[in-house]
Amino acid sequence: MSEPKIKNMEEFASVSGISRPTISKYFNDPTSVRATTRERIERALDQFDYQPNMYAINQNRRLTKNIGVIVPYLADPFFAEMARHMEDLVIAAGYRPVLLGSHGDADLEVENLNSLRLMKPAGVLLAPLGRGSDPERIAEFSQDVPTVLFDANLETIGEAFVGSNNQQSINLIVDYLCRTGEPPSFFEMRLPSNPNAFKRRQAYVAAMEALGHEPQLIQVDGDGWEFEAIGFREGSRVLEERSLPTDTVLCSNDRLAIGFLSAAYQKGMRVGLGDGCALRVAGHDDHPFSRYTCPTLTTVSQDYESIATKSAESLFEVIESGSAEKMREETLFDGKLVMRGSA
Amino acid sequence: MSEPKIKNMEEFASVSGISRPTISKYFNDPTSVRATTRERIERALDQFDYQPNMYAINQNRRLTKNIGVIVPYLADPFFAEMARHMEDLVIAAGYRPVLLGSHGDADLEVENLNSLRLMKPAGVLLAPLGRGSDPERIAEFSQDVPTVLFDANLETIGEAFVGSNNQQSINLIVDYLCRTGEPPSFFEMRLPSNPNAFKRRQAYVAAMEALGHEPQLIQVDGDGWEFEAIGFREGSRVLEERSLPTDTVLCSNDRLAIGFLSAAYQKGMRVGLGDGCALRVAGHDDHPFSRYTCPTLTTVSQDYESIATKSAESLFEVIESGSAEKMREETLFDGKLVMRGSA
DNA sequence: ATTTTATTTTTACGCGCGTAAATTTTTAAA
DNA sequence: TTTAAAAATTTACGCGCGTAAAAATAAAAT
């Protein structure tokens, strides 16, 4: 790491005493050269620090070692954590992650796809916005670039989808809530941006009916990705109106629940499952903040580690098998009940 | 956007009836060609969709139009929001943002810098980890690449620093707390990762002394970036031990306060400034979640919009003026008192 | 030691674009 | 219209690397 600056592979070849094509081979796959030459190269490498020009490398490649990771909303810690996980996996597999957030904006989502395309990525891990996403553009993109969807499914798009088994997880928590108190009503946005919300609604209705209860949907207005604000505002409203059909509320996701809990607190309502509690509130996702709400939030965890791992592995498979493959695979991971203080 | 695929600039030149060098000029600066030719090019452009190969473009450039945005911890919504803002500004200025998170890891921070260097970025907006950062590597990097630091200052490194005026903001909230009740003690980590924390501690001590009160530091153990967890754990501990010197606690940042509030809630302590409240808790930053805590968190806002804007503009200036410039500039923005329920 | 096989070297070309210099064309000014 | 200035075209080279083909060398097998 000293000496004169090496400016290109030619120069590094001469100072290391190895021919340029061999050096080139080495950088594309260190194991593809004889062990003794590999050592010589590596010895030269920490004597002269040289790194190939990434632009020159990629100019003539049909695809690069880049893998795009696109999430709908980076300011949501759930997606931030997911992205973090995926980045690690991508690096471990020898690729370079390129992180992009869509900020809840469909146009930006498409732009992200476009700017990724210019990078000739080996593949993309995409969590689409859901409703609002432009399915045609995404489908188009996924035909050129190996794409694995996660979190939000867009039917038929991409090589695979990995997400949560909303059916199972909602069933789990509805069952739990019914066993331990009044059957829950379901608090959600009327037009959720996320397709999981639809699945959860259906699952809720089915679960309630299976248990012989009447489903009670509380569908509130609200747009965008500021779920806490919506949960707070609309939670405040329904609590003021005393229009809740039961004392138990299952929120479609934790961020709504966080807002709802805040509203309940401000209304002076004691939330929880003990005596003297007026309300039970549950969520879904096991959001990083859900263990610090007041009371702590009972919820169902999404197995985001498994989702991240499976997504990444699916993508690597597709990439390494040369993309033309079998059927589109959908993998759903079960959630786990997280019993905390709120229900 | 139809017809045959154009594969390079040569081909696009011929189908558009313009010479390749002119096309090249156009892409580097559309205003640098005559209006009539610009129109012809643009007409061809939406007839034949062609986008120059970014690798070929950048191969021979000493620097690209890329601007790195590095934050210490993307799963912290504060940094996520900041990054989002900066991305917008970077795009608006005609550059391409490259977002990198260091996940609280100094090695990763250095790696991020290294991988950025390969991209030959025009500049970097860097929020360093703080303590734990490798100042030498960062200094080295900042000598090659125009770098503006934000949030956390590393003295003498980079072309500029933009952050919060902790002196002013802490003064503000200490003053407020003293006016409305008992003087606060200061709850913080013994070895905070963030240099702002040191500034805030000093500012707290100075403010208290100026008001004739004795500063009371509550320095707790804890490492890493899981501030809520630390605030909760150590908050629970001090509340159990009843070792709080006053009924008012100023936390070094909102994330600690969020954990602390959660601890207080679980201990059954009523937090707030009304009668019947056993405790007042305040934070610092106006973290996105602070308006949904129970009670809502009284805090001082960081002017993150101004910080983002000023950081970006400083960087653009340095870049466009050819980097060799005047003195290193430090800009601090004042915070605003955000009076909510907790104090 | 000889043959076979696996690597490396030599040589050479191409990728897509930036860009410089000389020339021609277009536009604006006189 | 003529002249001067601005812009576009033609021509040509270089960037740093991938990579193919043929020749040379080294390692492994006989």
Question: pLDDT per residue over A166-222, tens digit each?
Answer: 999 999 999 999 999 999 999 999 998 888 999 999 999 999 999 999 999 999 999
A61 touches strand D (CB under 7 A): yes
Q: Are B300 and B292 in contact (CB under 8 A)?
A: no
Q: How crowded is the C-beta side of A316, counted as CA atoms within 13 Å?
A: 16
Disruptive mutation site among A266, A277, A292 for chain B (greatest number of B CBs within 10 Å):
A292
Residue A20 CB in 7 A reach of strand D: yes
At B320 the pLDDT is 86
What are the C-alpha distances in Å from A305 to residues A162, A287, A338? 11, 13, 16
Assess contact for A272 and A314: CB atoms under 8 A.
no
The whole-number pLDDT of residue B247 equals: 94
The per-residue pLDDT for B203 is 97
Q: Does B75 touch chain A (CB under 8 A)?
A: yes
Q: What does the pLDDT read at residue B3?
A: 60
Q: Which residue ranges does chain A devote to CATH 3.40.50.2300? A: 66-164+305-332, 166-301
Query: Is A56 in Cβ contact with B55 (below 8 Å)?
Result: yes
Q: Whose structure tokens read 């903040």?
A: A289
**What does the alpha-carbon distance between residue B239 and residue B271 come to, in Å, rounded to a whole number?**
12
Q: In Å, how far from its chain's centre is CA A124?
A: 12
Give the C-alpha separation, A32 to B287, whole Å. Answer: 51
Where, residue-wise, is CATH 3.40.50.2300 in chain B?
Answer: 66-164+305-333, 166-301
Name the residue among A59, A259, A266 with its Cβ closest to that of B59.
A59
List of residues 6+ apart from B47 with CB closer than 8 A: B1, B2, B3
Q: Which nucleotide is the nearest neighbour of B22, by CA and C1'?
A: D8
How far apart are the C-alpha atoms of B313 and B242, rounded to whole Å? 48
For residue B60, the SS3 value is: coil
For residue B108, the chain A residue with the least C-alpha distance is: A88
- Any idea which fold A166-301 has? Rossmann fold (3.40.50)
Q: What is the DSSP letter of B99?
A: E
Straight-line distance from CA A5 to C1' C6, in Å? 34
Rounded Cα–Cα distance for residues B192 and B21 (Å): 55
Residue range B36-44: mean pLDDT, rounded: 94
Q: Is the CB of B60 under 7 A from strand D?
A: yes
**Whole-angstrom Cα distance, residue B72 to residue B151?**
10
Could you tell me if residue B286 is left (phi over 0), alpha (psi between -120 and 50 degrees) or otherwise beta?
left
* Closest Cα in chain B to A53: B118
Q: Are strands B336-338 and B299-301 parallel, antiparallel or unpaired?
A: antiparallel
The token pair at B224 is 């890493």
B258 touches chain A (CB under 8 A): yes
For residue A133, is pLDDT > 80? yes
Residue A137 at interface with chain B, using a CB cutoff of 8 Å: no
More confident residue, B50 or B327: B50
Q: Is the CB of A53 under 7 A from strand D?
A: yes
Element (H, E) at A339: none
* Architecture in CATH for domain B66-164+305-333: 3-Layer(aba) Sandwich (3.40)
Handedness of CA A3, A7, A8, A14 (dihedral sign): negative
Q: Which residues touch strand C (CB under 7 A)?
A: A 17-22, 25, 32-34, 36-38, 59-60; B 7-10, 20-21, 24, 27-28, 34, 36, 52-53, 56-57, 59-61
In sequence order, what are the residues at sequence separation of 6 or more whose Cβ sits closer than 8 angstroms to the Cβ of residue B190? B219, B220, B221, B222
Write out pLDDT tens, residues A278-302: 999 999 999 999 999 999 999 999 9
Confidence of residue B113 (pLDDT cuts 50, 70, 90): very high
Selected for mutation to probe chain A from B7, B55, B116 (highest A CB count within 10 Å) is: B55
Contacts of B213 by beta carbon, 8 Å cutoff, 6+ apart:
B178, B183
Choose between A224 and B212: higher pLDDT.
Answer: B212
What tokens appear for A160 in the block? 């695979």
Q: Kind of pairing, strands A248-251 and A185-189?
A: parallel
Contacts of B320 (CB under 8 A, 6+ apart): none
Query: B294: Cβ–Cβ under 8 A, 6 or more apart, which residues?
Result: A261, A262, A265, A266, A293, A294, B261, B265
Question: In B276-328, where do the E strands start and end?
Answer: 280-282, 299-301
pLDDT of residue B152: 95
Contact (Cβ atoms closer than 8 angstroms) between residue A90 and residue A99: no
Please check whether strand D approaches the CB of B190 to within 7 Å. Answer: no
Interchain contact, B55 vs A58, CB within 8 Å: yes
The yes-or-no verdict on residue A3 having pLDDT over 80 is no
From B86's Cα to the closest Cα of chain A, the distance in A is 13
Size of interface A-B (CB pairs under 8 A): 109
Beta pairing, strands B299-301 & A280-282: unpaired
What is the pLDDT at residue B325? 63
Per-residue pLDDT, B49 = 86
Residue pair B290/B301 in contact (Cβ under 8 Å)? The answer is no
Q: What is the mean pLDDT of chain B?
A: 93
Q: Which residues contact A326 (CB under 8 A, 6 or more apart)?
A: none
Contact between residue A109 and residue A72 where contact means Cβ atoms under 8 Å apart:
yes
Q: If you average pLDDT over residues A246-252, what whole number do you get?
A: 96
Q: How far is Cα A253 from Cα A287, in angstroms, rounded to an integer?
A: 9
- Tell me the C-alpha distance between A42 and A48, whole Å: 10
Nucleotide with C1' nearest the B20 CA: D9
Instruction: Select A66-164+305-332's CATH number: 3.80.30.20, 3.30.70.100, 3.40.50.2300, 3.40.50.300.
Output: 3.40.50.2300
Integer Cα distance of B95 and B271 in angstroms: 47
Name the β-bridge partners of B124: B68, B147
Residue A334 CB coordination number (10 Å): 15
**Protein residue closest via CA to C1' of C27:** B34
Q: Is pLDDT above 80 for A324?
A: no
